[in-house]
Amino acid sequence: MTHVVEPGAAIDRGKNLNELIHRGTMKDGRHADFRVKKMTAKTFIVSDMRELMVMQRVFREAKFCTVPDDDEISDSDIVAALFSRLMNALIEVEVEVMGESARADWQAWLTMDDPMRSEWSAVRLRAQRKKTWPVMSDMERNEYVRLLFAPFIMSQKEIDQFVGEVNGE
């Protein structure tokens, strides 16, 4: 079975990001010019369930590391969307192999309702370091918390509890 994870795009001068990094013209992708010049038919394909699981672990580690090297990863709406798409693909593959019980297991894992989980602690540290947190409106904080926790699902009750923790209440 093959699942498309991310469509490709042409980057400035027709070079893709990996070519630029590989040739040493930039240190990392954070400094690339990501203006899309032309969409292409190229895709990144993951065709193995083990590879999907490894990607899930990589995304989780990058987004929820308690000592991050790059805070832009956890704050990125693109990373949040990619991680959510990855989880959807992984869930569908596991359902095909293991049946509907796999969906229930993943949905339980994706429900963020336990403040003792390592992801909760990592996100709390990031929110506490966010310089604009004190001046955010309640709606902005809710949106920011959902972004930081993506792909995890939180009820408003858990978001309120989390915001209270960040605010020291």
Q: Are residues 30 and 93 in the same domain?
A: no
52 plus 108 within the same structural domain: yes
Q: Within this chain, do residues 68 and 108 fall inside the same structural domain, yes or no?
A: yes
Looking at residue 88, its pLDDT comes to: 93
Is 7 in the same domain as 68?
A: no
User: What is the tally of structural domains in the chain?
Assistant: 2
Q: Which residue has the tokens 């506490």?
A: 128
Let me know whether 55 and 97 are in one domain. Answer: yes
* pLDDT of the chain, 169 residues: tens digit per residue: 333 333 333 333 333 333 333 233 334 444 444 555 555 667 778 878 899 999 999 999 999 988 877 878 888 999 999 999 999 999 999 999 999 999 999 999 999 999 999 999 999 999 999 999 999 999 999 999 999 999 999 999 999 999 999 999 8
Per-residue b or e along 31-47, where b marks 16 or more CB atoms closer than 10 Å to that residue's CB: ebeeeeeeeeeeeeebe
Q: What is the pLDDT of residue 35?
A: 52
CA 119 from chain center: how many Å? 12
Q: Is this model's pTM higher than 0.85 or not?
A: no
- pLDDT score recorded for residue 39: 56
Q: Do 156 and 86 lie in a common domain? A: yes
Q: What is the pLDDT of residue 169?
A: 83
Same domain? For 55 and 71 the reply is: yes
Query: Looking at the structure, do residues 40 and 64 belong to the same domain, yes or no?
Result: no
* Distances from the Cα of 86 to the Cα of 23, 32, 63, 148, angstroms: 28, 23, 14, 16
132 shares a domain with 91? yes
Domain that holds residue 99: 48-166
Q: Is 79 exposed, middle or buried (0-12, 13-18, 19+ CB in 10 A)?
A: middle
Specify whether 79 is located in the same domain as 100. Answer: yes
92 with 123, same domain: the answer is yes
Q: Output the pLDDT for position 23.
A: 31
